[in-house]
Amino acid sequence: MTSEKEKNKALVRRFVEAQWEKDLDALEEMMGPDFVDHSVLPGQGTTREDFLQDVAEDQAASSDAQLSIEDQMAEDDKVMTRLAIHGSHDQEMFTGVQPTGAELKFTGIIINRVVGGKIVEEWSEGTYAYELAQQRLDHELRERERIEQELLVARRIQQASLPKEVPTLEDWQIAPFYEPAREVGGDFYDFHLLSEGRLGLAVGDATGKGVPAALVMSTTCGMLRAVAQSSESPGEVLLRVNEALSARIPASMFVTCFYGVLDPKSGIFAYANAGHDVPYVRRGGECEELRARGMPLGLMPGMSYEEKDIVLEAGEAALFYSDGLVEAHHPNGEMFGFPRLRALVAEHGEEGSLGEALLRELYSFVGEGWEQEDDITLLTLRHSTTTR
């Protein structure tokens, strides 16, 4: 029997696809009479009728664009959908630029609330990454110095927020790797020394680039450190940070974050996830996912975060990472991808560094002359021996 959450996810998937296909009849059937769109541009309305009109009038910037629904999560009556759109800019003017044929990419997160089998509310956030084939030289000359200065400031903020030392735990190996892209993003990782020898571990990514992303990342790190000292629950830590961030960061930004607490004596690792890429654990020649439901931080207040735990036995290792790894591209356009990463984690033996092995595979995959697109963060936690 299909659960209510699965039904809601399927409804939202059809709703997103109907928007893409401009199927107004299908949209009307799925929308509640009092539907409200909470994420509108200046001059747009928030009602059901406004939403349908915007869908009908939207002009395509690409003739070959493709929609991909990357992931869905359901919590109570809300469904989060992560999507991506890829295509060539060969149709209408886009962001003030005439068609050039260059790559057009849109990634976004949509949150819908479902009541009685109808979609009654929508929140959406997205980012555009657009590379022009024809460089606008006059604009570049005016902006270059400002951009370089902003990147320098962003790097300094980011570096100051990352931990200076890696904690040393008996029978445990902790190995972080961080490689920033030229255009600084919002990746971060951190460690929290807690009571009774326990260790808090955070890996996350703030949306956006440059100084705004670095500032949000730095703010999130500070909040996590403060809250972690007064709570033993990863789920409660994320809940409290989400409440604080929701009132402080710009409406167009959010933070994905995985947070866990390790008891090095027992090997128990408790964790919660705020919409971040799912970590992996290698055990017995197989790869397990550390899944836990939770919306990204800062999107909206009142969210709860599922908490789970696992025992990391001797010889087992956990991998935490950011999307800069899985979204790296081969020269032919193929992505490194989650299936490849999961298979590599499962195949890795107990000898040698998992992080180093993954980086060798990555550099072999992307080839020489690769231009790194996003920050890459890897953090491995390995239980080396047992003292019990």
Domain layout of the chain by residue ranges? 4-130, 167-383
The predicted structure's pLDDT at residue 1: 42
Q: Judging by beta carbons within 10 Å of its beta carbon (0-12, 13-18, 19+), is residue 320 exposed, middle or buried? A: buried
Classified as helix, coil or strand, 73 is: strand
Amino acid 138: pLDDT: 44
So what's the pLDDT on residue 388? 42
Q: What is the pLDDT of residue 149?
A: 67
Residue 353's pLDDT is 82
CATH code, 4-130: 3.10.450.50
Tokens, residue 180: 């920033």
Positions of the chain with pLDDT under 50 = 1, 94-96, 128-139, 387-388
Tell which residue, 216, 208, 212, 215, has the closest CA to residue 157. Answer: 215
Q: What pLDDT is recorded for position 278?
A: 94
Class of domain 167-383: alpha beta
- Strand order, beta sheet including 376-383: 172-179, 376-383, 317-321, 280-283, 286-289
| Three-class DSSP category at 243 | helix
Q: Which two tokens stand for residue 34?
A: 């009092």
Q: What pLDDT shows up at residue 367?
A: 84
Has this prediction a pTM greater than 0.75?
no
- What whole-number distance in Å separates Cα of residue 150 and Cα of residue 144? 10
> Given this model, what pLDDT does residue 163 score?
85
CA 315/CA 375 separation, integer angstroms? 29
